[in-house]
């Protein structure tokens, strides 16, 4: 009797999963300034306050220092935070709850610092929702509809067609032209793309021009600018002629808010799976 190996079972199309109606999903509207996403959040039941949704930020959330006296909070400890280039020690504060719509997280220790020193005007925010805020469900950021949804009843599988698996949040496989790379998907970065200088000859033949210094959370980096002709492919997304910042110090390719804003971005941290779909 001959034994036959069974073919691997393929799941659904990842973008079909993302777009399927889910009556139990929590929907939250958001606004966009310079590519960044902003929602209304409450801290200890007070607010609402303006929070940025930042897939590049670790942890559950962060508070601007200006919120502490408003809420009667005090510093309770310190923590180390990295922006990918430099590490800094920052203060933390204890909060009873942080909520967006009916999504609530309790008994938290949040980083607090003066974010408004670098981000002001209409781009200013009172805090940040980090990726761990959405760790136990499917997060869908629909830039076209200006709607964020969160569901524990639906999700992505690594078997789904077109899904982008990751091991380190949120670094996914991409291709640029005919070459393969890994890129960090960062909804909090107000750029289209960042490329390490060492990789520039592999992704573009265009010349570079001097650009303004890039502002990171813990400092600045000197940058140049150029154009990546592409196609840059990630999931079902295709980008052409992408404006890119180029840095000697930045360690990895980053796809930021200006590129992601033409997509529907879905992240399921339970299965370490991501879908990128045209909006």
Give the DSSP H/E element, type plus range, for residue 17.
helix 14-19
> Does the pLDDT of residue 80 top 70, yes or no?
no
Strand partners of residue 28: 148
* pLDDT band, residue 86 (cuts 50/70/90): low
Q: Which carries the bigger pLDDT value, residue 207 or residue 185?
A: 185
pLDDT in tens, 50-67: 999 999 999 999 999 999
Q: What is the number of helices (H) and of strands (E) in the chain?
A: 4, 25
Mean pLDDT of the chain: 89
| Fold that domain 164-278 belongs to in CATH | Cathepsin D, subunit A; domain 1 (2.40.70)
Cβ distance 33 to 146 under 8 Å? no
pLDDT of residue 219: 55
Q: How far apart are CA 250 and CA 84, in angstroms?
A: 7
Report residue 55 as tokens.
Answer: 């897939």
Report which DSSP code applies to 135.
Answer: T
pLDDT in tens, 20-41: 989 999 999 999 999 999 999 9
Cβ distance 123 to 64 under 8 Å? no
* Residue whose entry in the numeric block shows the structure tokens 């502002």: 215
* pLDDT band, residue 2 (cuts 50/70/90): very low
Task: Point out the least confidently predicted range of 2-6, 21-25, 98-102, 198-202.
Answer: 2-6
Dihedral sign for Cα 37, 127, 191, 86, please: negative
Q: How far apart are CA 31 and CA 40, in angstroms?
A: 9
Half-sphere exposure of 14 (CA within 13 A, CB side): 28
Q: How far apart are CA 12 and CA 209, in angstroms?
A: 44
pLDDT of residue 279: 86
Percent of the chain at pLDDT > 70 equals: 89
3-state DSSP call for residue 265? strand
List where CATH 2.40.70.10 sits in the chain.
24-151, 164-278
Q: What is the largest CA-CA distance in the chain?
A: 76
| Fold that domain 24-151 belongs to in CATH | Cathepsin D, subunit A; domain 1 (2.40.70)
> Does the pLDDT of residue 237 top 50, yes or no?
yes
pLDDT in tens, 115-143: 887 777 888 999 999 999 999 999 999 99
């Amino acid at each position: 009797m001959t034994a036959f190996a069974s073919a691997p079972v393929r799941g659904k199309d990842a973008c079909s999963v993302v777009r399927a109606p889910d009556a139990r999903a929590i929907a939250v509207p958001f606004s966009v300034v310079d590519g960044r996403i902003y929602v209304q959040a409450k801290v200890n039941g007070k607010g609402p306050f303006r929070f940025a949704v930042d897939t590049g930020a670790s942890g559950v959330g962060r508070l601007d220092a200006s919120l502490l006296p408003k809420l009667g909070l005090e510093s309770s400890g310190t923590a180390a935070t990295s922006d990918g280039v430099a590490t800094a020690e920052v203060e933390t504060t204890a909060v009873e709850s942080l909520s967006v719509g009916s999504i609530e997280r309790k008994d938290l220790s949040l980083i607090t610092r003066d974010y408004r020193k670098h981000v002001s005007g209409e781009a200013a925010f009172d805090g940040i929702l980090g990726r761990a805020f959405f760790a136990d469900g499917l997060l869908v950021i629909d830039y076209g509809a200006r709607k964020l949804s969160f569901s524990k009843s639906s999700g992505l599988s690594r078997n789904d067609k077109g899904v982008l698996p990751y091991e380190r949040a949120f670094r996914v496989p991409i291709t640029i032209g005919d070459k393969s790379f890994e890129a960090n998907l960062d909804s909090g970065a107000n750029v289209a793309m960042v490329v390490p200088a060492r990789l520039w000859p592999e992704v573009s033949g265009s010349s570079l021009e001097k650009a303004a210094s890039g502002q990171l959370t813990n400092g600045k980096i000197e940058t140049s600018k150029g154009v990546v002709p592409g196609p840059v492919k990630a999931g079902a997304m295709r980008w052409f002629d992408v404006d890119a910042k180029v840095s000697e110090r930045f360690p990895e390719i980053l796809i930021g808010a200006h590129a992601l804003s033409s997509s529907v971005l879905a992240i399921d941290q339970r299965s370490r799976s991501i879908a990128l779909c045209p909006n």
